[in-house]
Chain A
């Protein structure tokens, strides 16, 4: 009998991570797209860092930062009674940081590809920056938003290094990719096959959806 719990944990993690990332990334991507601050490149590099950093490195530093020996870990423990290592909230925070560029970059590119005149025209019609973002900019970058959502979701599902470092291999934190690794270690190839096939099909379906909608989005722009 296949235990589907790792998939439920994975989907829950991906859903929560993507939801939080969506809310956080819109203002961040807007700032990166339009800000003229000279040191912007530093923030762009920080956002993109998870793309090139080995997941184990990121996971290690997060584990150290969350531990009770660190100032951050002590602060969270003392003031919020929160311990992040080897817990689901810890997994969520690690996933958010790890998938940040997958949400921010498509949205930033979407903003940058819009004609500046759209934003300016909205201001001349009496609309504030927030109204302009909600009523004009976001509706015109739907394809970018969808790309960000789907890529972040898919990337969170495929995580291994970061979640292993922060969450370990416990029942409450074992996501699908770790369950595959665990099954192989136990020489349970049948379960590993099943888990792997489900992840493979799911990942393919997600990417197919992205390309389908991007094609439609491009056609609408034309």
Chain B
């Protein structure tokens, strides 16, 4: 079980943001953190990773406290069993793809796991290449492999597919699911993309004004037409087995099919 109850105040774009976030996540689940831009979703991931220190609270993974303000404990980022997939790839330009993948592996590499991840990501042909020669989609596939190959207890994905085109996004979603079926880690991911949330998430944490206001499966959360956290529902069609919504989010119409 991964549990956190953390508080943080910071200024973003001249606005004071107060985060007060509490949740418990079952191991092996994929959880989406959903909310409008600037509500602090990425800050949550940064606090869980240790890159940002909460003002107070506690983060517990299994039976280990990663952060506890009362016990004055803060496990450094490099001592936390995490994988972090950033929005902007973050591959190491001085290393080949293979060296990038092996960079975070401690001790004897699990060659079978590495081979499977390379196969799922279709990375075999890219292993000797440098990151600068890869496309955005290829770079993000490598970044996913790097983050997952060390079998972290917690995998954090910060809008990992937002910069990719629709086709590549779907491919990467499939890869995330395929890889997680092997390593079975807990995944917390931030996304603005509703189809992505439906595709990947077992559960959704809806974030508004610095707190979680709703929690449930994607269908439970988004079945209601009053989904003001994500945008305005512009049309709704009841099908036999599903309900289709067209939602206006940040000026774009997004189609979502919700199973009944």
Question: Residues on A close to B: CB < 8 A?
Answer: 115, 117-118, 120-128, 135-136, 139-140, 220-221
In the complex, are the beta carbons of A118 and B77 less than 8 A apart? no
Q: Assess whether B67 is interfacial by the CB under 8 Å rule.
A: no
Distance in angstroms between the alpha carbons of A199 and B23 in the assembled complex: 69
In the complex, are the beta carbons of B94 and A125 less than 8 A apart? no
Q: Contacts A120-B51, A136-B94, A140-B93: A125 and B150 contacting too (C-beta < 8 A)?
A: yes
Distance in angstroms between the alpha carbons of A117 and B146 in the assembled complex: 14
In the complex, are the beta carbons of A118 and B83 less than 8 A apart? no
Q: Assess whether B49 is interfacial by the CB under 8 Å rule.
A: yes
Q: What's the nearest-Cβ distance from chain A to residue B238, in Å?
A: 44
In the complex, are the beta carbons of A124 and B49 less than 8 A apart? yes
Question: Which of A115, A118, A123, A220 has most B Cβ within 10 Å?
Answer: A123
**The one of A115, A126, A139 that contacts B94, using a Cβ cutoff of 8 Å:** A139
In the complex, are the beta carbons of B82 and A124 less than 8 A apart? yes
Interface size range on B against A: 20 to 34
Sorted nearest first, the 8 A-B pairs with minimum C-beta distance are A125-B104, A139-B94, A121-B90, A124-B84, A123-B77, A117-B90, A123-B78, A126-B78
**A-B interface contact total, Cβ < 8 Å:** 58
Distance in angstroms between the alpha carbons of A139 and B95 in the assembled complex: 9
**The one of B88, B146, B147 that contacts A115, using a Cβ cutoff of 8 Å:** B88
Q: Assess whether B212 is interfacial by the CB under 8 Å rule.
A: no
Question: Which of B51, B82, B94 has most A Cβ within 10 Å?
Answer: B94
Instruction: Look across to chain B and name the residue whose beta carbon is closest to the beta carbon of A139.
Output: B94
Distance in angstroms between the alpha carbons of A77 and B88 in the assembled complex: 57
Q: What's the nearest-Cβ distance from chain A to residue B102, in Å?
A: 10
Q: B146 contacts which chain A residues (CB < 8 A)?
A: 125
In the complex, are the beta carbons of A117 and B88 less than 8 A apart? yes
Of the A-B pairs whose beta carbons lie under 8 Å apart in the complex, a sample of 20, sorted by A's number, is A115-B90, A121-B90, A123-B77, A123-B78, A124-B82, A124-B83, A124-B84, A125-B78, A125-B83, A125-B147, A126-B150, A127-B103, A127-B104, A135-B92, A135-B103, A136-B94, A139-B94, A140-B93, A140-B94, A220-B132
Q: A135 contacts which chain B residues (CB < 8 A)?
A: 92, 103
Q: A115 contacts which chain B residues (CB < 8 A)?
A: 88, 90
Question: Residues on B close to A: CB < 8 A?
Answer: 49-51, 76-79, 82-84, 86, 88, 90, 92-94, 103-104, 106, 132, 146-147, 150
Distance in angstroms between the alpha carbons of A101 and B90 in the assembled complex: 30
Q: A125 contacts which chain B residues (CB < 8 A)?
A: 78, 83, 103-104, 146-147, 150
Question: Which of A120, A127, A139, A140 has most B Cβ within 10 Å?
Answer: A120
Q: What's the nearest-Cβ distance from chain A to residue B189, in Å?
A: 15
Q: What's the nearest-Cβ distance from chain B to residue A119, in Å?
A: 10
Q: A118 contacts which chain B residues (CB < 8 A)?
A: 90, 92
Q: A128 contacts which chain B residues (CB < 8 A)?
A: 78
Q: B78 contacts which chain A residues (CB < 8 A)?
A: 123-128
Q: What's the nearest-Cβ distance from chain A to residue B118, in Å?
A: 17
Q: A140 contacts which chain B residues (CB < 8 A)?
A: 92-94
Q: What's the nearest-Cβ distance from chain B to residue A133, in Å?
A: 13
Distance in angstroms between the alpha carbons of A120 and B49 in the assembled complex: 10
Distance in angstroms between the alpha carbons of A122 and B94 in the assembled complex: 13
Distance in angstroms between the alpha carbons of A192 and B50 in the assembled complex: 62
Q: What's the nearest-Cβ distance from chain A to residue B185, in Å?
A: 14
In the complex, are the beta carbons of B84 and A121 less than 8 A apart? yes
Q: Contacts A126-B150, A140-B93, A140-B94: A121 and B77 contacting too (C-beta < 8 A)?
A: no
Q: Contacts A117-B86, A127-B78, A127-B104: A122 and B51 contacting too (C-beta < 8 A)?
A: no
Distance in angstroms between the alpha carbons of A187 and B51 in the assembled complex: 66
Q: B93 contacts which chain A residues (CB < 8 A)?
A: 140, 221
Distance in angstroms between the alpha carbons of A127 and B146 in the assembled complex: 13
**Further contacts, 20 of them, CB under 8 A, given A120-B90, A123-B76, A135-B103:** A117-B86, A118-B92, A120-B51, A121-B84, A121-B86, A121-B90, A121-B92, A122-B103, A123-B77, A123-B78, A124-B49, A125-B78, A125-B146, A127-B78, A127-B104, A128-B78, A135-B92, A136-B94, A140-B92, A220-B132
